[in-house]
Structures are given as C-alpha cells and as structure tokens.
Amino acid sequence: MKALGERGLVELIRRRAGSRQSGWRVAIGDDAAVMRAPQGQDLVYTSDTLVEGTHFRWSTTRPRALGRKTLAVNLSDLGAMGATPRGFLLNWTLPESSSASQIDGFLRGLLQLANRAKCPLVGGDTVAGPVWTMSVTAIGSVPMGKGLLRSTAKVGDRLMVTGTLGAASLGLYQLEAGRKQASIYQRRQLDPAPPYELGRRLLRSRGMGAALDLSDGLATDLERICLSSEVGAEVDLELIPVNRGFHRSCDKENLNPWELVLFGGEDYELLFTVRADASTASKLTRQLGHRVTEIGRIVRGRRPRFRMNGKSVSIPGRAFEHFKTR
C-alpha cells in the first residue's frame, strides 16, 4: 500500500474496473457516478460492511475469496428484493502495511464476481485505517412496484428456503476452533456464493409473498418477516434442508445443529413465501434449477413457532449479533 499511495490505488482500481460502463454516463473518475434513470423501474439500494477482526481474519482468509464475499453479501440483498444488479460503490479502508498480493487478490476476486453478475464498480473511496474495512453500496432495479418485500406474507402462505442452512455457521466454528482440514463448511463461510439471480426469476412466479435473504439465521430472519407482515409462522425443524453429513459434523464438534440453523447466520439463501395455491417446492425447484424446500406455513400470530415431529419446541429468544458473539 505504502508504495502505491492513495492515488496509485485509485488508478489501479480504475484501470482494472474500467471507466466506461454500460448504462452509466460517468463511472469512476468524476466527483460522482452518473446513471440514466431506468424507465418504469424502481431503484434498489443496499449496503453491507465487512471489518477485519469482526467478520474475517487474515489468518484464515484468502484475498480473492474476500473480494468475492465483499460483493456477494450485497448481491444477496439485491437478489432478495428481486432486483437486477446495476453497479456498486466500494469504500475501502486498508492499513499502509497491506501487501500488494492482498490488494491485487482482493481486487481480482471482487471484479471477477462483478463481471459475472454484470454489476460494475462505478465509484467509491480508498482511505488509510488500522484494519481492512469494506463497505459496498450496491444498486439494482426492479420493475416499478414489484420489489419483493418482507412485509407481504399472508396467512396460509407456504414458507420456502433455497439451498441448505447452517453450513456457513458450522464453517465459522471450525475456523475459529483452528480445524486445519478445509471443509465445505469453511468454504461456505469464507467464499459464499449466494444464488442472487433467483430472486429476480421468482418475480415472474405467480403468487409470490414476502422474501428476504438469510443473513442472521432462520429464527431471527423469519421473525423479521413476521414483524413486517404482522403474521406468525410454523416451521417443522425436520424439514429444514441441511448438507448431507451436517448432523454428524455437528456431533463431532459437540454443537447443536439447530442452534446453527436457527441462529448461526451467513446462509445467504432466500427465505420466501408463496400463496398456498400458487406453486409447490418441487415446481419451483424445477423452474429455478436450484433446490427449494418447503419448511412450514405462515399462520395467524406475531412470531415464528417451531415444531419437531409434530410437537412444539421452545426456542430461546436470542439473536445472533456480531457484537456479542465475536
């Protein structure tokens, strides 16, 4: 970093990212980025920050994966609104001691995903600070009034999730415990690949209800849908999709698999509801080419309730919070 300086870093980013982007009148290189307002669309904005020491450690993180994750967690939020990515701004704080290979790897990973997602880097800021801190603001668009919200679940809706849950959380535990052998779980934690394109395909589905991306654990995030939509929910724990071998791996670590699934966080899968007569999980799985599982129903009430083998189980009312657990 020291050799490069702030200006050199901006120049490197501009060269890598390119200064012309389709749909953008001005990208990197003026006081601000300028975009034509898309006709008949709503604009969607989301922001997420990753901080060294809070969200990752260099001892277990590779620069490229970190670059991808920095954008991926934001694409996940755009996807949960059903939005098409349009571009992003990066606010990048890094220490003077950062190595060229960290900087280079991070930029490669970031821009690789940006290319794949057609979500160009259009602006931002680079500054010096004590630890790596990356704030991305991602911009997307949805047809006017069509964005998938948290507040549109209705009593009777089927409750669905994509992919598998709990894996990233188990991976985090393994990393923090110093397990040397790389696992699929560690990979889910370090290099998540959210299915950010599913949301916008779901927009075309009949009978969509509410949606969000699972970032803080099923219990916490489902409660958000319940609060926003003023409904309750009933979930059958045994229906929640997990990786093959997940329970065995949890046993080995002496972890409660339900705790990881319900409160672990960083799944970056979609949690959504569909009207009961609209579609089934198997139809959606075929339609999306991605696993969708029905795990319960939206019911009257204000909170999620959980059942195991038909019997209600009580879940301690706690939420995963970075401030408390890391």
| Interacting residues with its own copies between 258 and 277 (CB under 8 A) | none
Among 12, 14, 16, 51, binds its own copies (CB under 8 A): 51
44 binds its own copies, rule: CB under 8 A? yes
Contacts (CB under 8 A) with its own copies, residues 109-148: 122-125, 127-131, 133, 135, 137, 139-142, 144-145, 147
Contacts (CB under 8 A) with its own copies, residues 195-254: 212-213, 228
35 binds its own copies, rule: CB under 8 A? yes
Whole-number Å distance between alpha carbons of 261 and 256: 9
How many CA atoms within 13 Å lie on the side-chain side of 242? Answer: 24
Comparison of 140 and 257: residue with beta carbon closer to its own copies: 140
Q: Which residue spans within 219-278 are E strands per DSSP?
A: 232-236, 270-274
Choose one: 52-60, 62-70, 112-120, 165-173; the region binding its own copies (CB under 8 A). Answer: 52-60
182 binds its own copies, rule: CB under 8 A? no
Whole-number Å distance between alpha carbons of 282 and 227: 28
Q: Which residue spans within 155-225 are E strands per DSSP?
A: 158-162, 208-213
159 binds its own copies, rule: CB under 8 A? no
22 binds its own copies, rule: CB under 8 A? no
Size of the site for its own copies (CB under 8 A): 74
Among 12, 14, 18, 43, binds its own copies (CB under 8 A): 43
Instruction: Give the nearest distance from C-beta 210 to its own copies in angstroms.
Output: 10
Given phi > 0 = left and psi -120 to 50 = alpha, else beta, which region is 170? alpha
Structure tokens that stand for 212 in this block: 């969000």
317 binds its own copies, rule: CB under 8 A? no
55 binds its own copies, rule: CB under 8 A? yes
Comparison of 95 and 179: residue with beta carbon closer to its own copies: 95
Whole-number Å distance between alpha carbons of 111 and 64: 10
Q: Which residues contact 323 (CB under 8 A, 6 or more apart)?
A: none
For 313-325, give the secondary structure using H, E and C.
ECCCCCCCCHHHH
End-to-end CA separation in angstroms for the chain: 28
Instruction: Give the nearest distance from C-beta 321 to its own copies in angstroms.
Output: 5
From 1, 229, 25, select the one nearest 98 (Cα to Cα): 1
Structure tokens that stand for 267 in this block: 């799944």
Comparison of 191 and 223: residue with beta carbon closer to its own copies: 223
Among 11, 96, 176, 251, binds its own copies (CB under 8 A): 96
> Do 303 and 223 touch, CB atoms closer than 8 A?
yes
Compute CA distances 9 → 39, 62, 111, 311, whole Å.
Answer: 35, 20, 15, 58
Comparison of 122 and 242: residue with beta carbon closer to its own copies: 122
Contacts (CB under 8 A) with its own copies, residues 57-86: 77-78, 80-81, 83
Choose one: 32-40, 108-116, 164-172, 298-306; the region binding its own copies (CB under 8 A). Answer: 32-40
